[in-house]
Amino acid sequence: VQLQASGGGLVLAGESLRLSCAASGRTSSSYTGGWFRQTPGKEREFVAGIRWSSGSTAYADSVKGRFTISRDNAKNTMYLQMNSLKPEDTAVYYCAVRRNFVLSPVSGAYDFWGQGTQVTVSS
């Protein structure tokens, strides 16, 4: 599975961005997808996850109510809608896919990774 992330950019606090993650190659409805983010000197942090078969989701407490993860099965694409962005959301965002139907917040549980897209939120 190859993943191509896009949609990052520079925005002001309070604005919105939508990240996309296009998947190619052999995929399965039993997979799960996730978004992670990382800042220099810190561990990669779980942001949100989605079960491809059911669409059930999970979020980090820091983004609940502001971010929404979704998936378009027809386009084989996963999205992260980010609203009410804060400066502390600034990071490189990565999409990932896990060959397992169980959602996981652990980066090591994911099998495939996109290349990362920079999100910068200015105050």
Evaluate whether 79 touches 55 at the Cβ level (below 8 Å): no
For 23-57, write each residue's pLDDT tens digit. 999 888 889 999 999 999 999 999 999 999 899 99
What pLDDT does residue 107 have?
97
pLDDT of the residue at 87:
98
C-beta separation of 72 from 59 below 8 A: no
d(CA 110, CA 11): 29
pLDDT score at 29: 85
Mean pLDDT score across all residues of the chain:
96
Compute the 3-state secondary structure of the chain and give helix, strand, coil in percent, each to the nearest 5.
5, 50, 45
Query: Does residue 7 surpass a pLDDT of 90?
Result: yes
